[in-house]
Amino acid sequence: LTARSLPSIQSDERLQPLLTRLSHSYVGPDYSVQKNTGKISLEQIDALSVKSFPLCMRQLHKSLRDNHHLRHGGRMQYGLFLKGIGLTLEQALEFWKKEFIRGKVDADKFDKGYAYSIRHNYGKEGKRTDYTPYSCMKIIMSNPPSQGDYHGCPFRHSDPELLKQKLQSYRVPPSGITQILELVKGMHYQLACQKYFELTHDVDDIGFSLNHPNQYFTESQKLLSGGRELKKELSNSGNSQQKTNSQESMNSNSTSTTSNITADAELEGLESYFTED
């Protein structure tokens, strides 16, 4: 039915702009609900940037620490990401001010020139819009970085040789770097980021489609905190108890026991399947 409908859809001038916009749109969670607001301390950010930041945000954080400044594109991309992982407005003002005054911006200049935009991102100035973090699609498709900028997607906007050097410095194994560069060559930038996640978290398959930097952070924290493993252990524990009960009833009904064990195995597979998400 879809195939038969394509000619009429493609010839309908009213639908073409809609379909074009849809292919470039992000329709997942916008990470505007701040369930974790205030749970991230400023002292944690350096360690989190190494363990749980996607490459784009890790690059921005390192550049900020090295240069004590980011241009507007970098401040927007990184600032909204930090907001999405739980940084409060007060923490954000403290974080950016401390870093900028270590460079060429004094406290008075920061308060007059930069604090407003941070409060604006949190919906406290201007139109009072509570801005949401950038999705991968937005980072890839809009506002490409120019010389001196550090925002954007490293898989999309970095020179392949520079990207290779960066991955080497982050101790990504050579075979993994080759896989990532092949995906980049094929313009599969989000798949390249997924491969980076797998290599830096030592997993074979992340089990989800990566399309947002804050999703990367959330899934990384779940994995590192043992959330997924805990679910599996609880599931296996429950199944072990079921198998024990089945074995205790073996003497009374061997046929029934065999059926129960088979059902337990199937249930274990189903539980493992659903806990992967």
Q: Give the start-to-end residue ranges of the domains of the chain.
A: 43-224
**DSSP, residue by residue, 151-199:** -S-HHHHS-HHHHHHHHHHTT--HHHHHHHHHHHHTT-HHHHHHHHHHH
Query: Would the pLDDT of 259 be above 50?
Result: no
Query: Would the pLDDT of 103 be above 60?
Result: yes
- pLDDT at residue 232, as a whole number: 36
Residue of 50, 1, 29 whose CA lies nearest to 215: 29
- pLDDT at residue 13, as a whole number: 67
The amino acid at residue 71 is R
pLDDT one-digit tens code per residue, 186-221: 999 999 999 999 999 999 999 889 999 999 999 999
Please give the structure tokens belonging to residue 100: 């900028």
- pLDDT at residue 276, as a whole number: 35
Nearest 5°: CA angle at 44, between 83 and 194? 65
For residue 69, give the H/E element and its range.
none
74 SS3 class:
helix
Mean pLDDT of 81-87: 95
Mean pLDDT of 31-38: 67
**CA–CA separation, 76 vs 98, rounded Å?**
17
265 SS3 class:
helix
Task: Provide, rounded to the nearest whole percent, the portion of the chain with pLDDT above 90.
Answer: 64
Residue of 214, 215, 181, 186 whose CA lies nearest to 199: 181
**CA–CA separation, 182 vs 152, rounded Å?**
20
- pLDDT at residue 31, as a whole number: 72
